[in-house]
Amino acid sequence: MRGRWWSLLLTAVIVFLLAYVGLTYLDRGNEPTISYTEFSRQVDAGNVDKIYSKGDAIQGELKDARDNPEGDGDYTKFKTQRPAFADDDLWQKLNSRDVTVTAQPVVKERGLLSNLLISLAPIVIIVAVWIFVARRFGAGKGGAGGMFGRKAPPKPVELRPGTQRTTFADVAGIDEVKGELDDVVDFLEHPDAYRRMGAKMPRGVLLAGSPGTGKTLLARAVAGEAGVPFFSASASEFIEMIVGVGASRVRELFAEARKVAPSIIFIDEIDTIGRVRSGGASVSGHDEREQTLNQILTEMDGFSGSEGVIVIAATNRADILDPALTRPGRFDRVVNVSPPDRGGREAILKIHTRDIPLAEDVDLTQLARTTPGMTGADLANLANEGALLAVKRGQEQVTASDLSEALEKVQLGAERTLVMPEEDRRRTAYHESGHALLGMLQPGADPVRKITIVPRGRALGVTMSTPEVERYAHSEEYLRGRIIGALGGMAAEQVVYGVVTTGAENDLEQVTNIARGMVARWGMSERVGRLSALPSDAQQAYGLAAAPQTLDVIDAEMRRIVDECYEEACSKLRDHHRQLEALAEALLENETLEEADAYRIAGITRLTKEADA
């Protein structure tokens, strides 16, 4: 910043000097210079009105304009130089012809003060424009220096009046993560006990997990439990177009945190600046990012261990972070924040519905079972959508129907007022019935929860299936069952109509991903073998992770598995054609079938498997 102020000052001085020189020496007026002979001729003719003389220099003004013999156009005011050898009794001539000899110059020039004030005008304009642009770039964060990254010193996050600190009581579903962070809270509350034992708290804690799992909430809860100042920043705030600004902001942030230690610094989305550094030359944007990362590493190394400042960072891309960031002495504790299990989802739902009046028919345990894979943010959104529906319907309480419809809206999208031709509606009914019937018939498949032919989002119809218990490892039989169920819609159209439509696009995407994983990643193909031919990170660059011959084998095995599953799907639907017809007719009549009704109409008894089994 000091160098930039000096450059601005130097620019202002240069502009001032140029303006002053131009005004003082170049703007002398536009009166022409005539010869002394011409001047004597006009005096003899009695055409000179007044003159002013300073030494041998003469300024004057004529009574009547005359042609300039040494220039273009007429002139009235003039200037000339009297030769030193002239002996022409000039004073007598002037006096005899009533020429006024004045004490003031005929053509007045601006004085020093006037030139000074006028010279400062460009400087004032430049400074005014600079301040205006700086404030616009600074967006109110640091005034005129905002465009150069100069912001107000960071301050701890303050609570709004009437609000309470976030504590671990507001966090549920991730008890194992809270256990990891309890050590941080205890250290902040009782640092002397750790020092006496010679123990050092980790300087940094990295929270890694999917979006919406509660990483930011956990960091706030740690600060709330310990009752210490909490500094929050996003990694993108450090990056500016001017190299070096990010590093200076990091220094300011850590300096302010040390002043009020013990304290917590939370950096969100640290992968923005913490990516693996390149070894070659980089453009300025990368230079700024790497300088910012280097400054963070330096600040964390500079901790003495007794300052009581702990850095908590969050990312959903821990795999791309620079190794220097996660080594011992920096972020030496990495905590994985995973989506909650069934019990965790139930606890999260209780927290997000504690201020929502629930009807007696609401069963949060059952709702938790039907929401596998949803994060804390998803569940919070689900509870809020249910409350919004209850308000729209003028209810005093949120019912199970509200939450069920909110779940459909969150997972599938809002209902569309789409008028379909009867033929398309009937085809959609058979399509969804095929999905549902194969899901009911396939051993070990996820239970069918709901079937609908009401258009939602991009889909014309939906069959919802969720597992009865949490699954953390999938067998080959289960994965084949999922492929068969996904192909059920296309198979039903083939069995009933003899043709297929574009309605199976999303189904085919799911089938392709599952088959590719089975063959190339999970070792479920004898020809490919027990190896990971296409790691998950290389799927986007398909074809770069394996030899061309291996890719040909992978394609052939994928086609074999999908073809076998499709033949099995068509065979089962032909064998249970009456049940398929019954489900389709019920869908055409009711548009939506709940779990119990669907199994009853299909004539299939579902074996209930308790989650605790």
- Neighbouring residues of 501: CB distance < 8 A, sequence distance ≥ 6: 427, 493
Q: How far apart are CA 446 and CA 435, in angstroms?
A: 12
What is the pLDDT, as a whole number, of residue 613?
A: 35
Q: What is the pLDDT of residues 428-450, one digit of tens each?
A: 899 999 999 998 888 777 888 88
Q: What is the pLDDT of residues 236-286, one digit of tens each?
A: 777 665 556 677 788 888 888 888 877 888 888 888 887 776 654 444 445
Task: Determine the Cα angle at 379 with ends 375 and 382, to 5°.
Answer: 140
What is the pLDDT, as a whole number, of residue 612?
A: 36
Question: pLDDT-derived band of residue 235, with 50, 70 and 90 as boundaries?
Answer: confident
Q: What is the pLDDT of residues 552-569, one digit of tens each?
A: 899 999 999 999 999 999
Q: How far apart are CA 136 and CA 130, in angstroms?
A: 10
Query: Lowest-pLDDT range, 101-115, 144-158, 457-471, 484-498?
Result: 144-158
What is the pLDDT, as a whole number, of residue 101?
A: 80
* Number of residues assigned to the chain: 613
Catalytic machinery residues: 432
| Residue 357 predicted with pLDDT over 60 | yes
Question: pLDDT-derived band of residue 210, with 50, 70 and 90 as boundaries?
Answer: confident
Bond into 202 cis (ω within 30)? no
CATH class for the domain made up of 345-412: mainly alpha
Query: Architecture of 422-602 per CATH?
Result: Up-down Bundle (1.20)
Q: What is the pLDDT of residues 46-103, one digit of tens each?
A: 888 888 777 778 888 888 888 777 666 777 888 888 887 777 777 777 777 778 887 6
Q: Which residues pair with 204 in a beta bridge?
A: 311
What is the pLDDT, as a whole number, of residue 251?
A: 82
Q: Got the DSSP string for 434-445? A: HHHHHHHHSTTP
What is the pLDDT, as a whole number, of residue 252?
A: 83
Structure-token pair, residue 578? 């009456």
Q: Got the DSSP string for 268-304? A: ESGGGT-BPPPSS---HHHHHHHHHHHHHHHHHHT--
Query: Lowest-pLDDT range, 166-175, 274-283, 321-330, 545-554?
Result: 274-283
Question: pLDDT-derived band of residue 140, with 50, 70 and 90 as boundaries?
Answer: very low
- Neighbouring residues of 317: CB distance < 8 A, sequence distance ≥ 6: 271
Domain ranges across the chain: 168-337, 345-412, 422-602
What is the pLDDT, as a whole number, of residue 142?
A: 44
Structure-token pair, residue 411? 């997972």
Q: How far apart are CA 1 and CA 150, in angstroms?
A: 8
Question: pLDDT-derived band of residue 483, with 50, 70 and 90 as boundaries?
Answer: very high
| Residue 306 predicted with pLDDT over 70 | no
CA dihedral 256, 260, 263, 265 (to 10 degrees): -10
Q: Is 159 helix (H, G, I), strand (E, B) or coil?
A: coil
Asked whether the domain spanning 422-602 has the same topology as the one spanning 345-412, the reply is no
Q: Is 544 helix (H, G, I), strand (E, B) or coil?
A: coil
Contact 425, 453 (CB under 8 A): yes
| Residue 145 predicted with pLDDT over 50 | no
Q: Is 370 helix (H, G, I), strand (E, B) or coil?
A: coil
Q: How far apart are CA 243 and CA 249, in angstroms?
A: 12
Q: Which residues pair with 209 in a beta bridge?
A: 337
Residue 49: CA count within 13 A, CB half-sphere: 10
Mean model confidence pLDDT for the chain = 78
What mean pLDDT comes out for the span 323-346? 83
Please report, as a single letter, which amino acid is at residue 178.
K
- The residue with tokens 């000339």 is 80
What is the pLDDT, as a whole number, of residue 514?
A: 92
Residue 298: CA count within 13 A, CB half-sphere: 11
Instruction: Report the percentage of the chain scoring pLDDT > 90.
Output: 12
- The residue with tokens 């959508």 is 385
- Neighbouring residues of 407: CB distance < 8 A, sequence distance ≥ 6: 367, 370, 371, 382
Q: Which residue has the higher pLDDT, 33 or 395?
A: 395
- The residue with tokens 């002394």 is 36
pTM of the model: 0.65
What is the pLDDT, as a whole number, of residue 560?
A: 94
Instruction: Report which listed range, 20-29, 94-103, 128-137, 349-358, is most confident.
Output: 349-358
Q: Which residue has the higher pLDDT, 6 or 27?
A: 6
Contact 345, 368 (CB under 8 A): yes
Q: Is 268 left (phi over 0), alpha (psi -120 to 50) or beta?
A: beta
Indicate the CATH number for domain 168-337. Answer: 3.40.50.300
Q: Is 29 helix (H, G, I), strand (E, B) or coil?
A: coil
Q: How far apart are CA 453 and CA 428, in angstroms?
A: 7
